[in-house]
Amino acid sequence: MVTDLIRRAEDWIAGDPDPQTRSELQALIDTSEIEELEARLDQSLSFGTAGIRGEVGAGPNRMNRAVVIRTTSGLASYLIGEHNSVPERPVVVGFDARPTSRQFAEDTSGVLAAAGISVVFFPDFAPTPLVAFAAKHLQAAAAVVVTASHNPPADNGYKVYANNAAQIIPPVDGDIASAIDLAGPAREVARVESAFAGGSPLVSPVPDDILDRYWEQVNASRPSPIHSDMTVVYTPMHGVGGQVIEEVFHRAGHSGLITVPLQAQPDGTFPTVAFPNPEEKGALDLATELAEQVDADLIIANDPDADRLAIVVPHAGAWRPLTGNEIGVLLGNYILQHASGEPRPIVMNSIVSSPMLGQIAEARGALHEVTLTGFKWIANAAMALEALGKGRFVFGYEEALGYSVGSTVRDKDGISAALVFCDLVAGLRSEGRTVLDQLNDLWQEFGLWVSAQHSIVRPGAEGMIAIQSAVAALAANPPGTLGAYEIDAVTDFSVGADKRPMWLGAQALVELSLGDQGRILVRPSGTEPKLKIYVDLRGDAGTEPQKRHTELSDSSAQLAKVFAQTLSI
């Protein structure tokens, strides 16, 4: 077995065009690092969801130039096969500020150009939403963004958009994966060298006015534009959103934006945060410190590729982060309050997001839809419903801080969502009210909804089997009660897909209904070795809504932990 492992490592080295990763893998052979070699060679990064993502390093189970080149070879083969020739429209390529991203993006462009496919690239790092917008604006055959989003600094990724400028969905992802499997060693894949430096006439930079065109559509999607001088502390978390969001806020007339100095410049090593995710504890400490110093009205944060949005508001002499669901229902309600006339507004959220948006939509006369997890489903559902004449898509969200206002971008967009949220806050401020006042009003009208998550981590192939078995066992034998809660209905989303729309297809997901009191959802993570438990509880807001919110949030978190102990895993 060791001999076979060494042989496979040597074969990979022979096919790797990058001297750095060839040396890295050879060093593991020379020092007999068998466990590390197994980790890098016994599996390959799987292409799915929207592409690939993983730790940077040598070998097929790491992100590196050889993996990117082979992946792009498969993408090129798929595109040529889809069109029965080289596609007439270009592929848009963008990248974030991680150390390897520019090289991966240039390799991507070089492989596409060598296959005869034209490329329009961003010459410098760019926010994912701007790249996705460019794909839509240019009617691209596809788009690739090299980014690991909010993953740890050691990671990178490769995200693919289809010819409708939304992230790929089945069967496209499977077809591309099959084409990747047929790709030869990376050294044998034809590739234009120095693609970004004039290596091919098929490779050209994105039009200079792309930000102007983005701004025009973002501004047109604002439900109630307003100017303000309120003090807004902003952090891009060393990511690539800062320059664009500062320009957008300037054009919109929000003059009080202050960017956290130590996190303002793009830096893919993320020197001030261990985990560049605004949901992580401590990630917004620098922003909070600055907000206290300048007596800010609001804190906003993007993740490193600027497709997510976090909000923190002042409350009782401290700072209170809003949950992803709270931001979602505030934005959804605000947009629906300002939606008028025909066609009927459409709002939607992922199935693991709060049911509260559905209640708001019903009260405001809007169409509400629920989709599988992933913004690819929200975007494709929006286009499908509009094509059927069901209305006009105005808003979609996921509880993991993802929001889409209108159809400027067919994906989550933390930049436009930040702008519209600041419009919302400024409008409330002009009335002498706060975000929490608005949230309290919604709770009085629809009930106080809170959410909690709990994850069970089981790494490795055996762990994945255990996770899948636990979900199947729960579906086959669900409990009748859980503590003080009665489970009045069970839905197994692995069956019955033929009776649901394509955006709510078969998935390893079980929903346990608690009636008017809420629900519990259980599913495997799509990107990590985790079993994820979501608890949504609904109660009365009472006379002290924020205090009641804390109490019910604690109850939901405890319920999630108790429920985890009942599972067969």
In this structure, the answer to whether residues 159 and 54 fall within a common structural domain is yes
Examine the domain organization and report whether 436 and 465 are in the same domain. no
CATH code of residue 460: 3.30.310
Average pLDDT over residues 25-43: 95
pTM over 0.75: yes
The answer to whether 451 and 251 are in contact (CB under 8 A) is: no
Quick one: pLDDT at residue 49? 67
Do 10 and 140 lie in a common domain?
yes
Q: Tell me what the mean pLDDT of segment 45-71 comes to.
A: 93
Quick one: pLDDT band at residue 178, thresholds 50, 70, 90?
A: very high
Contact 568, 470 (CB under 8 A): yes
- Residue 403 pLDDT greater than 80, yes or no: yes
Same domain, 227 and 277: yes
Q: Name the amino acid, one letter, at 234.
A: Y
Question: In this model, does residue 401 exceed pLDDT 90?
Answer: yes
Mean pLDDT of the chain: 96
Query: How many domains in the chain?
Result: 4
354 and 316 share one domain: no
**Residue-wise pLDDT tens digits, 76-132:** 999 999 889 999 999 999 999 999 999 999 999 999 999 999 999 999 999 999 999
pLDDT in tens, 506-547: 999 999 999 999 999 999 987 678 999 999 999 999 999 999
Mean pLDDT score, 223-231: 97
Mean pLDDT confidence for 430-437 = 97
Distances in whole angstroms, Cα of residue 197 to Cα of each of 120, 145, 193: 13, 19, 9
Q: How far is the first Cα of the chain from the last one, in angstroms, to the nearest whole number?
A: 31
Final residue belonging to a domain, choices 295, 320, 345: 320
Give the DSSP letter of residue 306. S
Residue 337 has pLDDT above 70, yes or no: yes
pLDDT tier, 48 (very low <50, low <70, confident <90, very high otherwise): confident
pLDDT of 528 reads 74
**Average of per-residue pLDDT across 2-28:** 96
pLDDT of residue 309: 98
Strand ordering across the sheet containing 392-398: 367-371, 345-350, 392-398, 402-405
Instruction: Please count the other Cβ atoms lying within 10 Å of the Cβ belonging to residue 35.
Output: 9
Over range 278-301, report the average pLDDT: 97
Question: Is 284 in the same domain as 427?
Answer: no
Helix (H, G, I), strand (E, B) or coil at 230: coil
Write down which residue in 265, 299, 320 finishes a domain.
Answer: 320
φ and ψ at residue 495, rounded to 5 degrees: -125, 165
Q: Express as a percent the part of the chain with pLDDT over 70.
A: 99
**What's the pLDDT tens digit per position in 555-569?**
999 999 999 999 978
111 and 219 in a common domain:
no
DSSP states of 402-421 as a string?
EEEETTSSSS--HHHHHHHH
Q: Do 100 and 14 share a structural domain?
A: yes
Question: Is the pLDDT at 55 greater than 70, yes or no?
Answer: yes
Average pLDDT over residues 30-50: 90
Q: What's the pLDDT band for 66 if we cut at 50, 70, 90? A: very high
Strand arrangement, sheet containing 142-146 = 51-55, 155-161, 142-146, 91-95, 119-121, 203-205
Question: Residue 251's pLDDT is what?
Answer: 98
Q: Are strands 119-121 and 91-95 parallel, antiparallel or unpaired?
A: parallel
Among 98-112, 122-136, 215-229, 464-478, where is mean pLDDT lowest?
Answer: 464-478
In the structure, what pLDDT confidence band is assigned to residue 169 with cuts at 50, 70 and 90? very high
Q: Which of 133-137, 403-407, 461-465, 520-524 has the lowest mean pLDDT?
A: 461-465
pLDDT band at 2 (very low <50, low <70, confident <90, very high): confident
The reply to whether 168 and 278 lie within a common domain is: no
User: Stretch 205-217: mean pLDDT, rounded?
Assistant: 98
3-state secondary structure of 193: coil
Annotated active-site positions, please? 149
Q: What CATH number corresponds to the domain at position 6?
A: 3.40.120.10
Residues 111 and 146 reside in one and the same domain: yes
- Looking at residue 461, its pLDDT comes to 77
Residue 181 shares a structural domain with residue 241: no
For 12-29, letters b (16+ CB in 10 Å) and e give: bbebbbbeebbebbeebe
Which residue range forms the structural domain that includes residue 329? 325-445
Which of 445, 470, 491 is where one domain is finished?
Answer: 445
Domain identity same for 441 and 453: no
Asked if residues 345 and 339 have their Cβ atoms less than 8 Å apart, the reply is yes
